[in-house]
Amino acid sequence: MTNNDTSNKIITDNQKSHAPLEKPFSKIISPFQKFINSQSASGILLLVTATIALIWSNSQYSNFYYSLNEMNLQISLDQWEINHSLKHWVNDGLMVLFFFLLGMEIKREILVGELKDIRQSIFILIIALGGMIIPALTYLLVAFFMESDAIQGWGIPMATDTAFALGLLALLGSKAPRSAAIVLSALAIVDDIGAVLVISIFYTENINFDALKFASLTLSALFIFNLLGIRRPLFYLFGGIVLWWFTYHSGIHTTIAGVLAALMVPTRPYQQTSWFIRYARQLLTRFEKIDNHDKSILEIQKQHEITEKIKQAASHTTTPLQHWTSQLEKPVSLFIIPIFAFLNAGVTIPDQFTESLFSPVLMGVSFGLIIGKVIGISLFAWISIYFNWANMPKNINFTQLVALSFLAGIGFTMSLFIASLAFSNHPALLLEAKLGILLGSLVAGIIGMSLFIISSYRKKE
């Protein structure tokens, strides 16, 4: 037997007992993989990280929690440097990726999703409008009657936390109709569009028009890349970073850079699906011809080359919008958003908590999320149906719509974000706003889930 035959024999024998610990390890890791791939994973992680932050900030180690928030991170090159706190890096840096992903989802919804046909999506647009206007008015009414000057927090109860709300729907399983998740997703997308507009218009302070001019030129360059059919991520990554830099220095919040960059992402594939089918079949035929059951793919280099060609062909057939969304979805929902929640949800509950419960900001935010959202969505839904402007979605009744409107009152991530902008220079008011968000979201989530459960039992009867 030659040396070559011996090596082949060794590989074949090893192949028979390949990775003896792989199966036991797979059994251990499989539940974690299922959790990561589940729809409720991001919502559960948000809840866990927010709870840890809340407990930690009220423990004897609270000083360490706040010092962690304010820990400086510096990037420098010779005389040039950027120096900000960890919380600032997350809120103005990493969260841009969240808004970039959100922008791509918005673009997809408008092009091929629930918002493609305005006539079909009129119901969603109407109830989303109600879910933004009434919560904001609720906050302003509370501030007016309690004679508060903290009216800048009116935008806080407008938003819906998609991850939390959809996570709770996923936990409900068959007790909530599938159409509820579709309606809630589309509703949250419209809410997010509204929130982004509110941030860009009402929570922008001094504008540096020179930086804004360069940001506009960068956005134009990204648009030209799209028109030219450039699909390589490097162009959009570099352009997005430059856009973020100029937007940051323009005075407009950097979240807008993420959304605008996402709108420039190409939506046309490089090749048609018919080409992929023909080409993949040719490659699979070649792969099958050179296949040898006695050898592993490690020994047949051509098989490996064919698999790489299939992978490249697949990337040419899908669109950059779809590909980049799938690439960013898990890192954003399972890493960036939980970090944001951990750094922003921590709030030391004051000794006079009962007195804080009656503060204008806390009451305005919590009433906006619990009462404003429900009245806004339900009332506007009833009006649209009564005047025959739109029809109720199939397989969902009015009780379930009310339950869904309560879940839409979970405004955790975006509400915290807007609160940090509204009360950036007022720590006491920011504390009250956070308490209002936590309390309002908790109550709204519990009531919403309870109504879905009650509705499912009534159906069985």
Confidence of residue 23 (pLDDT cuts 50, 70, 90): low
Which of 36-45, 61-70, 205-214 shows the lowest per-residue confidence on average (mean pLDDT)? 36-45
Pairwise pLDDT comparison (349 vs 453), residue with the higher score: 453
11 pLDDT higher than 70: no
Q: What's the token pair of residue 264?
A: 């420039």
* Per-residue pLDDT at 16: 43
Task: Give the length of the chain.
Answer: 461
pLDDT at residue 26, as a whole number: 57
pLDDT at residue 355 tops 70: no
Lowest mean pLDDT segment, chosen from 23-37, 193-207, 386-400 = 23-37
Look at residue 5 and tell me whether its pLDDT is greater than 80.
no
Per-residue pLDDT reduced to its tens digit, 248-286: 888 777 778 888 899 999 998 888 889 999 999 999 999
18 contacts: CB under 8 Å, gap ≥ 6: none
CB 405 within 8 A of CB 377: yes
CATH homologous superfamily of 42-70+81-204+253-268+319-460: Na+/H+ antiporter like domain (1.20.1530.10)
pLDDT at 133 over 90: yes
DSSP 393: P
pTM of this prediction?
A: 0.74
How does DSSP classify residue 177? Answer: -
- The whole-angstrom separation of Cα 94 and Cα 88 is 9
Each residue's pLDDT tens digit, 315-347 = 888 899 998 998 888 888 888 888 888 888 887
pLDDT at 72: 87
Which positions ≥6 away from 35 have C-beta within 8 Å? Answer: 41, 44
pLDDT greater at residue 220 or residue 45: 220
| Cβ partners under 8 Å of residue 444, min gap 6 | 369, 370, 373, 374, 406, 407, 408, 409, 410
Q: Residue 182 is which amino acid?
A: I
CB 250 within 8 A of CB 211: yes
Residue 60 has pLDDT above 80, yes or no: yes
Angle made by CA atoms 429, 432, 436, in degrees to the nearest 5: 135
Query: Is residue 363 pLDDT above 90, yes or no?
Result: yes
Q: How far apart are CA 182 and CA 185, in angstroms?
A: 5
User: What is the identity of the amino acid at 432?
Assistant: E
Q: Model confidence at 4, in pLDDT bands (50, 70, 90)?
A: very low
Task: Give the lowest-confidence range in 14-28, 124-138, 385-399.
Answer: 14-28
Mean pLDDT of 221-236: 91
d(CA 115, CA 132): 17
From residue 34, how far is each of 2, 29, 40, 270, 378 by CA, in Å?
46, 9, 11, 32, 35
User: Could you state, in order of their start, the residue ranges of all structural domains in the chain?
Assistant: 42-70+81-204+253-268+319-460, 273-314
**pLDDT tens digit sequence for 147-196:** 777 888 999 999 888 777 777 777 777 787 877 877 887 788 788 778 87
Question: Letter for the amino acid at 25?
Answer: F
pLDDT at 459: 62
With cut-offs at 50, 70 and 90, classify the pLDDT of residue 7.
very low
- Measured CA distances, 409 to 144, 154, 363, 445 (Å): 22, 14, 14, 7
- pLDDT tens for each residue of 375-428: 999 999 999 888 888 877 777 888 889 999 999 998 887 888 888 888 888 888
Average pLDDT over residues 297-308: 88
73-113 pLDDT, tens digit each: 887 777 777 788 888 888 888 888 888 988 888 888 888 87
Q: What is the pLDDT of residue 33?
A: 54
**Bigger pLDDT: 236 vs 75:** 236
Alpha helices, H only, 228-372 = 233-250, 255-263, 273-289, 301-317, 320-331, 337-345, 353-356, 360-367
pLDDT confidence tier of residue 366, bands split at 50, 70 and 90: very high
Average pLDDT over the chain, rounded to whole?
Answer: 82
Query: Can you give the pLDDT at residue 3?
Result: 46
Q: How far apart are CA 176 and CA 442, in angstroms?
A: 19
C-beta of residue 104 within 8 angstroms of C-beta of residue 324: yes
pLDDT of residue 21: 54
